[in-house]
Copies of this chain bind each other. A is one copy, B any other.
């Protein structure tokens, strides 16, 4: 028994304070004209992670920035009308900025706030939901929120990432205390912002800690 194997991307960013996902409009059947996650077939001599990285570069032009991890595999028999297709979904978190480029089999690509999602092709609705939940959970116990930020960022920018992804408000003072006191979360650069409203803020870069200890937990 042989299968086609694809890689699909749940590509998230924060645009105008809203957690958003990159969706493409399908140029060919099935689901022609419908919205879907970007993705494509794994090449004959390509590792899965490399295929995901390639898709990410194709869609955003970003290389190395942000974060890319495997999300899970989806292979129900009827998920693609063309035949037996297993997809390995990847979760990518990137800073805002890259304008989407049209991929090979995509008519167009665009950022869509996850609060205003259209129906998606295949089982992509489920995959996206899993990706969003993964991102929400990972903010709790890893420093991954910084993947949504530019290389240097303020504590307030980082807080807005949490607020956008979780859909909650966080107290700026308590958040500041937590972030700066958790070992390896962020590292001060010594530089500051200027020209913004209010007191200038210190700039930080992401720290080396792979996990937050103790974690920064959501309510409930």
Contacts and interface: CB of A to CB of B under 8 A. Distances in A.
Interface of A: 1-5, 41-48, 70, 72-77, 84, 86, 88, 141, 213-215, 217, 220
A73 B75 CA distance: 12
28 contacts: A1-B4, A1-B41, A1-B42, A1-B43, A2-B2, A2-B4, A3-B3, A3-B4, A3-B5, A3-B86, A5-B75, A5-B86, A42-B75, A45-B77, A46-B77, A47-B75, A47-B76, A47-B77, A48-B74, A48-B75, A70-B73, A72-B73, A73-B73, A86-B86, A213-B217, A213-B220, A214-B217, A215-B215
B86 A44 contact: no
A74 B73 CA distance: 10
B73 A88 contact: yes
A48 B72 CA distance: 11
A5, A70, A76, A213, most chain B CB atoms within 10 A: A5
Contacts of A213: 217, 220
A88 B75 contact: yes
A43 to B, nearest CB: 7
A39 to B, nearest CB: 14
In order of increasing CB-CB distance, the 10 nearest A-B pairs are A2-B2, A48-B75, A3-B5, A47-B76, A73-B73, A1-B44, A73-B88, A45-B77, A3-B3, A70-B72
A1, A44, A70, A213, most chain B CB atoms within 10 A: A1
Given A70-B72, A70-B73, A84 B217 contact: no
Given A1-B41, A44-B77, A72-B72, 8 more contacts: A1-B5, A3-B4, A3-B42, A5-B5, A46-B77, A70-B72, A141-B141, A215-B215
Contacts of A46: 77
A209 B77 CA distance: 32
A57 B151 CA distance: 49
Contacts of A88: 73, 75, 86
